[in-house]
Amino acid sequence: MNFQELYKTYNKQVYNLALHYVQNIEDAQEITQDVFVSIHQSIDSFQKKSTLSTWIYRITINKCLDFIKSKSRRNRVSFLTSLFTKDTKEVRFDHPNFDHPGVLMEQKEALTKIFECINSLRTNQKTAIILSKIEKKNQQEISEIMGLSIKAVESLIQRAKQNLADKLELNEGK
Amino acid sequence: MKTESSFLKPLDTIQEVETPPFLLTRIHQRIEAIKANQISPKLAWGLAVSFSFLLIMNMVILNGNRKEKHENNLVESLHISTNNDLYK
């Protein structure tokens, strides 16, 4: 399969998964580009130990998590520098701009709260819940993507759901 | 009765979206930019071999100079004549 065909087959999968992680069109576009550049550079080293789709899922998830980590690092730095910069009149702390194009208007408020809680989960739990509840993957597929046993995936999903329920209840109480 | 994950039901309403058409162009541009900045393996090997050759030549010459200097010092300290003329 050449690169064009690869892109044609998997671009939607990558872009939508990135959207679920960052909930922002621009960031998802950047991640999608990073993923396909990475695929182009490393396709020769793909050892076929998993399916192409699983391999691409893994690359996408890693790129999403790296992006989120680097963005929050930049936010922390800009927050700290703004405390000491004379030029800024106010402290800047950029919250992610919720702009998921797959979200219907009538569900936006509910989903904003849910994604806020998903974003605060631990990395593994976040990935498990996104793959299971949004990507609709079964546990076998999730275990292949995450490189974990099915039992571990089951446990992650349970804990993620519990944590989400607790956080959402807390939010409702506010 | 609220089921265990009914609070996650809104996630079922998320729709799949199309990728912007210009993304592929941008990806190609990035790939080309990376290729333009890369040194080809041939060039890298060529540079490595040339550099190693220069280094070795340098070491040989320096070593030669050192040997000659050492011999000269020896000749001077022992007052040995280096020419065969009997009547200088």
Instruction: Report A:65-124 residues touching B (Cβ under 8 A).
Output: 100-104, 107, 110-111, 114
Q: How confident is the model at residue A174, as a pLDDT?
A: 52
Which domains occur in chain A, in start order?
A: 1-101 (1.10.1740.10), 103-174 (1.10.10.10)
What's the rounded Cα separation, in Å, for the pair A131 and A147?
13
* 3 state DSSP class of B4: coil
The band of B4, judged by pLDDT with boundaries at 50, 70 and 90, is low
Q: Which range among A38-42, A59-63, A93-97, B68-72 shows the weakest confidence by mean pLDDT? A: A93-97
pLDDT tens for each residue of A83-123: 555 554 444 334 457 889 998 888 899 999 999 999 999 99
B11 to A33: CB separation less than 8 angstroms, yes or no: no
Return the closest-CA partner of residue A1 out of A46, A38, A33, A32.
A46
Domain count, chain B: 1
Chain B contact for A9 (CB, 8 A cutoff): no
Residue A116 near residue A43 (C-beta atoms within 8 A): no
Q: Indicate the pTM of the whole model.
A: 0.74
What average pLDDT does the segment B37-50 reach? 83
Residue in B with minimal Cα distance to A172: B7
What residue in B sits closest to A109 (Cα-Cα)? B10
CB contact under 8 A, A16 and B23: no
Residue B1: pLDDT band (50, 70, 90) is very low
pLDDT tens-digit series, residues A138-168: 999 999 999 999 999 999 999 999 999 998 8
Residue B63 located in a structural domain: yes
- Point out the least confidently predicted range of A53-57, A65-69, A73-77, B17-21: A73-77
Q: Which domain holds residue B47?
A: 40-80
B11 lies in a domain?
A: no
Compute CA B19 distance to the chain's CA centroid, rounded to the nearest angstrom. Answer: 39
First CA to last CA across chain A, in angstroms?
53
Per the DSSP assignment, residues forming a β-bridge with A99 are: A24
